[in-house]
Chain A
Amino acid sequence: MSFSSILADIIGATILFAVPLLLVALGGMFSERSGVINIALEGIMIVGALCSCLTLVGLDKAGFGATHPQLGMFIAILVAAASGAVFSLLLAFASINLRADQTIGGTALNMLAPAFAIVLTWAVQGQGQTTILIPTWTRITQENFGIEKADTFFQNLIFKSFYLTTIVAVILFICAYVLMYKTRFGLRLRSCGEHPQAADSVGINVFKMRYAGVIISGCLGGIGGLAFTVAAGSGFQSSVAGYGFLALAVMIFGNWKPFTILGASLFFALFKIIGSYSDSIPFLPSFKNVNSSEYIYLMLPYVVTMIVLILTSKHSRAPKAEGIPYDKGTR
C-alpha cells in the first residue's frame, strides 16, 4: 500500500459522500430561498431513493441494466427526481396553499417516508424483504471506458467510487448556481424568500415561485437520496441514515449559498470518512488505549463545525421570510 493510493481513496470517498450532501443541501437552499423551510429533506431523500432503487432493480431484472448500465442509471436518476418532486408537493400544498405550519408538514413527511418505504418495499419484494439491493452495474469502472486497470493515483481516485450521480451533481451544481444568480427565475425566487409582499407587488406569483422552490428541492433531494444509497453501497433499507438532517446543517453552515454549501459538504464528507482511515494514516492519532476510538473521529466534524459556526455566526443570514406562510392580506 502506498500513501498515494490512500490519498486517492480518501479524496474519492470524500467526493462520493459529499455528492448527496451537496445535492440535498442545494435542494434545501432552493426551498428556503423561496421562503419554505424544508425539514422534510430526509423524507424526500428516502422516497427518491426508494423509487429509484426499485427502478434499478426493475431494469436489472429486465436485463436492460446490464446492457445499458449508464442509461439505466440515468433513468433511475430521473425517477428519483420525479418521485422526490411528487412527494415534496405534499409539503408545498400544506405550507403554501393551506398556509400550515411548515415544521408540521415537514415532520409528518419525515415520518411518512420511511414507513411508506418499508410497506412498499414489502409489497414489491415480499414480506420481510427490507433491503433493496443495488445492481453492481451502476458503478462506472475502467471497463466502461475501455481502460486497462492499473494501480495509478488517478485510476484509484476516479474509478473506485464513481457513479453517474457524481457527474450529475457537478452539472446540477453549476445549473443551480446559474439559475439562482443569473436568471430571472432566480431573482424572483429569492425575492419571495426575502420579501414576498414586495414580490407580489411587482406581479410575481409568490405561490408559483414557492411551489417551484419546493419542487426543485424535491428533485434534488430525491437524486440526493439515490446518490446516498449508491455511496453507502449496501442497498436501500428505508433509511438514509440522517443525511437529510445533516444536509440541513450543511445548508445552514453553507449560509444558503451554493459555493459555501459545496465547501461545507466536502468538509463534512471528509471528516466523516477520515476516521475510517486513521489506522492507515501515520500522522493521525489512533487512540490505542481507548476502546472504540472511531467515535472520536465520528465526533470530530461536528465539533469543528460548532467552532466554525461560533466564529462565523455574525455573517450567517437566513432568508428573511422563510417559514412564514404568505398571505396576500398581511402587510
Chain B
Amino acid sequence: AKKADTYEIALVTDVGNIDDKSFNQGAWEGVKEYAEKNKKTYNYYRPSEDSTEARVETIKQAIDKGAKVVVCPGYLFEDAIYEVQDQYADVQFLLLDGEPHTADYSVYKTADNTHNILYKEEQAGYLAGYAAVKEGYRSLGFLGGMAVPAVIRYGYGFVQGANDAAKELGVEGDVSIKYWYCGGFAPSDDIKTKMSGWYTAGTEVVFSCGGGIYLSCTAAAEAAGAKVIGVDVDQSAESATIITSAMKELANSVVLALTDLYANGGKWPADLGGKTSVLGAVEGCVGLPTATWSMKNFTVDEYKTLFEKVKNGEISISNSTDAAPAVAITVDYQE
C-alpha cells in the first residue's frame, strides 16, 4: 500500500467544491489542463470550515503533500496567503480575485512568490447588459450569488450596459431591472421560486451570476419559457434557455500563469512575482461567446464593434463596488 504520494500543483477550494461552476471550477479546469498537458501531479483540497485559519491549515496540508504551486481561487484567501507566503518562500502561490493583506486590512503585501489575478467583471457584465437590451429585452433581472466584489462588479456592469443601450435606443423609460443577491452560490428551491415569480411577473431574461445558482434560474426559465444569461464560462450547453454568457477566462488565465511560472523554472518571473495582473478586454479575458451566438437582433458584428470600444477605453465602465451606478433606467434593488 502506498502511503505518501505527492502532488506538485495543488488547488485549495474556498467554499464549495470544484464543480461549483464558478471560481473553484474554473481554476480547477485550468490546473487540470496545464498539469495533464505537462505531466505534473496535481490534486485539490477542501478546508474544514470557512475560516482563514482553516484555509491556512489546508494550504499547509497541501504543502506537506508536496505542493510546489498552490492555486487559491477567491478573495477569501487574501488573509491566508498573507500568512503563508513568507513562511513558505519556496512555494509559489497563485491568488485569483484578491490581493494578500493582513486580517485588519492595515498592510497589503504581495511577496515575490505570490502572483495575483483580478478580473474586470464589470466589462463582461456591461457587454451582457448591453446585448440584452439591444436584442429587444426590456424587462431584465440580475440574480447575484453573494454580494462579493466580483459579483457586484458583474451586476453593476450589467446595469450600466443595459442603461447605455437603452439610452441609445431612447427607451430608458421602458427598461427595468430587478436586482437581487440570493445570498449563496448553491442552487436552492427558494431561488427557483423567486425566479418563477419574476418570470411570471414579466421578467424576460435574468442574468444569473454566481456558481450553481444558474441551475435554479434555468429550471424556472424552462417552466416559464423565458431566458437566462450565463456567467463566467459559455454556459449555453447547460440549457436551451441561456441566450449568452458574460465570460471571464478563468481557466485560461490559470493555464497562462502556470505556463509562465514553469517557463521560469518553477518560480514566478519578475513581472508576475509580487505583482497583480488585472485582466479584462485588453487581455482578451472577458467577453461574450461568439461561437455559440444565438441572439438575432444584436449581431456578432455589432458586438465586435462594442467590444473594441470597451477595449480601447472609449466606453468607460465604473468598477466601483461601493455605490450603485447612477442610471436612467429603473433598477429595483430587492433586498
Asked if A241 and B189 make an inter-chain contact with CB atoms under 8 angstroms apart, the answer reads: yes
Chain B nearest Cβ from A212, distance in angstroms: 32
Query: Which among A130, A232, A237 is the interface contact of B192 at CB below 8 angstroms?
Result: A232
Tally of contact residues, A, Cβ under 8 A: 38
Task: Give the CA-CA distance A41 to B197 in the complex, in Å.
Answer: 30
Asked if B187 and A232 make an inter-chain contact with CB atoms under 8 angstroms apart, the answer reads: yes
Task: Give the CA-CA distance A279 to B180 in the complex, in Å.
Answer: 12
Chain B nearest Cβ from A46, distance in angstroms: 15
Chain B interface residue bracket vs A = 35 or more
Which chain B positions have C-beta within 8 A of A232?
Answer: 187-189, 192, 216
Asked if A128 and B19 make an inter-chain contact with CB atoms under 8 angstroms apart, the answer reads: yes
Contact with B along A109-125 (1 / 0, CB 8 A): 00000000000000000
Asked if B219 and A234 make an inter-chain contact with CB atoms under 8 angstroms apart, the answer reads: yes
Asked if A279 and B334 make an inter-chain contact with CB atoms under 8 angstroms apart, the answer reads: yes
Contact with A along B208-236 (1 / 0, CB 8 A): 00001101100110111100000000000
Q: A139-B223, A160-B223, A234-B187 are in contact. Are A9 and B192 (CB under 8 A)?
A: no
Asked if B17 and A130 make an inter-chain contact with CB atoms under 8 angstroms apart, the answer reads: yes
Asked if A234 and B196 make an inter-chain contact with CB atoms under 8 angstroms apart, the answer reads: no
* In the complex, B170 has a CB within 8 A of chain A: no
Task: Give the CA-CA distance A298 to B219 in the complex, in Å.
Answer: 21
Query: Which among B192, B200, B202, B222 is the interface contact of A139 at CB below 8 angstroms?
Result: B222
Asked if B189 and A233 make an inter-chain contact with CB atoms under 8 angstroms apart, the answer reads: yes
Asked if A280 and B197 make an inter-chain contact with CB atoms under 8 angstroms apart, the answer reads: yes
Which chain A positions have C-beta within 8 A of B44?
Answer: 128
CB-CB contacts below 8 Å: B148-202 with A: 178, 183, 186-194, 196-198, 200-202
* In the complex, B271 has a CB within 8 A of chain A: no
Task: Give the CA-CA distance A10 to B30 in the complex, in Å.
Answer: 43
Q: Chain A at the B interface: mostly helix, strand, loop or mixed? A: loop
Contact with B along A212-256 (1 / 0, CB 8 A): 000000000000000010011111010001000000000000000
Asked if A9 and B17 make an inter-chain contact with CB atoms under 8 angstroms apart, the answer reads: no
Instruction: Please give me the residue from chain B that is nearest to A287 by CB atom.
Output: B335
* In the complex, A326 has a CB within 8 A of chain B: no
Task: Give the CA-CA distance A228 to B189 in the complex, in Å.
Answer: 9
Which chain A positions have C-beta within 8 A of B189?
Answer: 17, 228, 231-234, 241
Q: A1-B202, A139-B222 are in contact. Are A13 and B17 (CB under 8 A)?
A: no
Which chain B positions have C-beta within 8 A of A292?
Answer: 183, 335
Task: Give the CA-CA distance A277 to B178 in the complex, in Å.
Answer: 13
CB-CB contacts below 8 Å: B33-87 with A: 44
Asked if A276 and B193 make an inter-chain contact with CB atoms under 8 angstroms apart, the answer reads: yes
Task: Give the CA-CA distance A313 to B82 in the complex, in Å.
Answer: 57
Contact with B along A1-13 (1 / 0, CB 8 A): 1000110010001
Asked if B200 and A1 make an inter-chain contact with CB atoms under 8 angstroms apart, the answer reads: yes
Q: A128-B44, A234-B215, A291-B335 are in contact. Are A5 and B200 (CB under 8 A)?
A: yes
Which chain A positions have C-beta within 8 A of B194?
Answer: 276, 294
Contact with B along A262-290 (1 / 0, CB 8 A): 00000000001100110110000000001
Asked if B223 and A234 make an inter-chain contact with CB atoms under 8 angstroms apart, the answer reads: no
* In the complex, B132 has a CB within 8 A of chain A: no
Asked if A235 and B223 make an inter-chain contact with CB atoms under 8 angstroms apart, the answer reads: no
Q: A131-B212, A291-B335 are in contact. Are A161 and B197 (CB under 8 A)?
A: no
Which chain B positions have C-beta within 8 A of A161?
Answer: 196, 223
Task: Give the CA-CA distance A291 to B181 in the complex, in Å.
Answer: 11
Asked if A9 and B197 make an inter-chain contact with CB atoms under 8 angstroms apart, the answer reads: yes
Q: A128-B17, A131-B212, A232-B188 are in contact. Are A9 and B200 (CB under 8 A)?
A: yes
Which chain B positions have C-beta within 8 A of A235?
Answer: 187, 212, 215
Q: A233-B189, A280-B197 are in contact. Are A128 and B216 (CB under 8 A)?
A: no
Asked if A136 and B222 make an inter-chain contact with CB atoms under 8 angstroms apart, the answer reads: yes
Q: Which of B187, B196, B201, B220 is packed against the most chain A CB atoms within 10 Å?
A: B196
* In the complex, B28 has a CB within 8 A of chain A: yes
Which chain B positions have C-beta within 8 A of A129?
Answer: 19
Asked if B224 and A160 make an inter-chain contact with CB atoms under 8 angstroms apart, the answer reads: yes
Q: Which of B183, B200, B334 is packed against the most chain A CB atoms within 10 Å?
A: B200
Asked if A280 and B200 make an inter-chain contact with CB atoms under 8 angstroms apart, the answer reads: yes
Task: Give the CA-CA distance A277 to B195 in the complex, in Å.
Answer: 9
Instruction: Please give me the residue from chain A that is nearest to B139 by CB atom.
Output: A1
Asked if B192 and A6 make an inter-chain contact with CB atoms under 8 angstroms apart, the answer reads: no
What are 14 A-B interface contacts by the 8 Å CB criterion? A9-B196, A127-B18, A160-B223, A232-B187, A233-B187, A234-B215, A235-B215, A276-B190, A277-B197, A277-B200, A277-B201, A279-B178, A279-B201, A294-B194
Chain B interface residues toward A at CB < 8 A? 17-19, 28, 44, 178, 183, 186-194, 196-198, 200-202, 212-213, 215-216, 219-220, 222-225, 239, 332, 334-335
Q: Which 6 A-B pairs have the closest CB atoms?
A: A234-B187, A233-B219, A234-B215, A280-B201, A232-B189, A128-B18
Known: A5-B200, A272-B193. 12 other contacts (CB 8 A): A6-B197, A9-B200, A17-B193, A128-B19, A139-B223, A232-B189, A233-B192, A233-B220, A277-B197, A277-B200, A280-B201, A290-B335
